[in-house]
Amino acid sequence: MDKKKELLWRAYIVMLMFVIASLVIMFKIFKISVIEGDRWRAKASDNIKWRIVDADRGSIYSDEMHLLSTSVQFFEIRMDLATVKDKLFYENVDSLAIFLNGFSKEYIKEKSVSQWKNELLANKKKKNAYFYIARGLDIDAFNKIKKAPILKYGKYKGGLIAFRYGRRVKPFRDMASRTIGVDRENADRIGLEGYFDRFLKGDADQRLMKKLSSPDGEIWVPLYDPSENDIRKGDDLVTTLNIEIQDFVHHSMMDMLQKYDAEGGSAIVMETKTGAIKAITNLGKSADGSYVEMYNHGVARLSEPGSTMKLATVLALMEDGYATAESKVNLNYGSKRFSDRIMFDSEKHNRSIVTMSEAFEISSNVGIASLANDAYNSIDGRKKWYNRMKSFGFTEPTGVDLIGEALPELKNPKNKDKWYGTTIPWMAHGYELLNTPLQMLTFYNAVANGGKMMKPFLVKEIIKGEKVKIFEPVVIKEAIAKPENIAEAKKMMENVILKGTAKSIKSEYVHLAGKTGTTRVNYANAGEYAKYNASFCGYFPAENPEYTVMVVVYEPKGVYYGGYVAAPIFKEVAEKIIGLKTKSIRSISDSTFVNNTSLPNKSIGFREDIENVFAYTNVPYTVKNKSKWSEADPSGSKMMVSAKSVKIKLYPIVWEWGQEMPPTCWKVWV
């Protein structure tokens, strides 16, 4: 009986202890949640909280849906060595070091097994909660490192810390790079990346994060595996850019810049009827002498346009009733005084009385300036000139969908302190005013389009999931001039190609029209070596314009006339586009096809072999350089065979059983 009471007392004591423990726990819970609740919740919110994160950035596509810019997902891997238990760590540190050594050979900067082990041990001793392992890993590498010793136990037991981030890449690299733009941390976004940033970046998302202390300061890491959770995505842009046309323009400009060692260049192709920009190239010389896209000259660089401005002058004269294409003007053999300055024609011609059309064809500064001076160099005339140029669009930006378009500068006669007796004649041939290549292109495009001025644009669609926002062409002005005057201006531009300053680019395959420009850029500094910009603006086919093109080459050396430096780029691009559209070779002087064979793709090989194949198959071609190794590239209506640089590497012959055979080597062409 006594033994039974003893057991009962023991049971009562144990039960009492459980009751007391339960009461203590309940009191602690009550104290923490109610009495001290606010303080602990504040501490929790300091270390674990929902934080705003950006969505994955949308992609940018060409009009044929080729990727121009996209975000590729990468991972950064770190390790919380304070979390990992000592037993697990020290039993597996050798295995982890061996794994990381093999992993580093394939994905990251290589370290030896001993280096990895020593670093892991040292940082474990410091209880580093943010030990760096690798950055820039793709999903395959990330999945592989998740299986590493210790790390395979995850973030809580194995200390695995993973960050997912997007890196912006451009598959076509430098082509239209400045126009596409960049998305960088701590820097202004430019190009389409900047203008459409609010669409591309998408809606911000929230992610539960925890705070870690580390040698790098306060770090917030996600509480979930970033590879297993969807992140919101920004909208995609579909641009008007055409990759094949962009390729033509880019490489034609590159070749010309290298040929004349120019400071830079810009070329823009616009769809005449819509204003859609199909290609835009902006190249500048870098410190090492190579040409790269550093600045958007076409949109943001103001310069005096030179003789391309003469189209606006002759159209104004006809529109205001001061002249017709057949009006006579005295060229005075190429020189004339206006106020206190003497003007010269850029090339000697020994001509005196000609028509306005002829003066335009040979790009006579004196002829066009004389007509404008007689018509507009009075108090009322200056106002009329300014208003006419304003109606042509030379006082406002085009409104293209890019940040940073420069505001054109046109002198207003109200500002008398900036107006001189020479202002009208000098503006008439492209000086004492500033505009960008795109602004001049927009004016020329209006003439090519029968007088209808279109707003240039680069994005035709924004795709948000299944929804699509479409951008329709926008008309800036229905008619900048009367139809009959537009027609006369277009005839003049055709004659520039047929018998004027650009007759060297007359094409056998497509009718061209346009105007050359040559601008002295440092005329105010008489002691300096003369520097020029060469330009050409035109359209094709002349009978039914589809594309309008502006080309500017900045400061070419040696040859600098627009007809010899800029115009050939226009011709090459025009012929390649026509070849691309027709997929066959057709002469405009004949209604029949030269042959019915499409031009072959680009190829590389021995020049003699290439010539033999082309001769046998009746493919027209031109040999630009008779080197042993050549590159054949379709150019409009024919194949261009040019030199191809080849590097020679020497590789040793190896015996079957793995012994190197000295000293004989193979020559291998690569």
Mean pLDDT per 10-residue interval, the chain, length 670 residues? 69 80 79 66 58 70 91 86 92 92 77 91 90 86 90 90 81 87 71 89 63 56 52 85 95 96 98 98 94 95 97 98 97 94 90 97 97 96 97 97 95 92 96 97 98 98 88 97 98 97 95 97 82 97 97 96 97 94 53 46 73 70 73 71 61 42 38
How confident is the model at residue 668, as a pLDDT?
36
Q: Quick one: three-class SS letters along 142-173?
A: HHHHCCCCCHHHHHHHCCEEEEEEEEEECCCC
- Residue 181's alpha-carbon distances to 177, 188, 194, in angstroms, are 6, 10, 7
Give the model's pLDDT for residue 136: 83
pTM strictly above 0.85: no
Domains of the chain in start order, with CATH, are: 51-236 (3.90.1310), 245-579 (3.40.710.10), 601-670 (no CATH)
Burial annotation 223-252 (CB, 10 A radius, 16+ → b, else e)? eeebeeeeeebbbbbbbbbbbebbbbbbbb
User: Do 569 and 267 meet the contact criterion of CB atoms below 8 Å apart?
Assistant: yes
pLDDT at 201: 83
Closest CA to 500 of 443, 588, 562: 562
pLDDT at 665: 39
CA 311 to chain centre: 30
Is there a contact between 614 and 599 (Cβ–Cβ < 8 Å)?
A: no
Listed residue (430, 315, 305, 316) closest to 364, CA to CA: 430
Please give the structure tokens belonging to residue 140: 């395959």
What pLDDT shows up at residue 232? Answer: 66
The pLDDT of residue 39 is 62
User: For residues 284 and 665, what is the distance between their CA atoms, to the nearest angstrom?
Assistant: 42
Q: Tell me how far apart the alpha carbons of residues 605 and 179 are, in angstroms, rounded to a whole number.
A: 35
State how far Cα 563 lies from the chain centre.
Answer: 27
What is the helix (H) or strand (E) element at residue 79, kind and residue range? strand 67-79
Instruction: Return the SS3 of 63.
Output: coil
Dist. CA 405–CA 298, nearest whole Å: 9
Which residues pair with residue 619 across a beta bridge? none
Q: Six-digit token pair at 500?
A: 């004027």
Answer yes or no: are the C-beta atoms of 296 and 191 closer than 8 Å. Answer: yes
DSSP conformational letter for 6: H
pLDDT value of residue 591 = 38
**Residue 589 half-sphere exposure toward CB, CA atoms < 13 A:** 3
- Concatenated DSSP letters of 469-490: EE----EEES-SS-HHHHHHHH
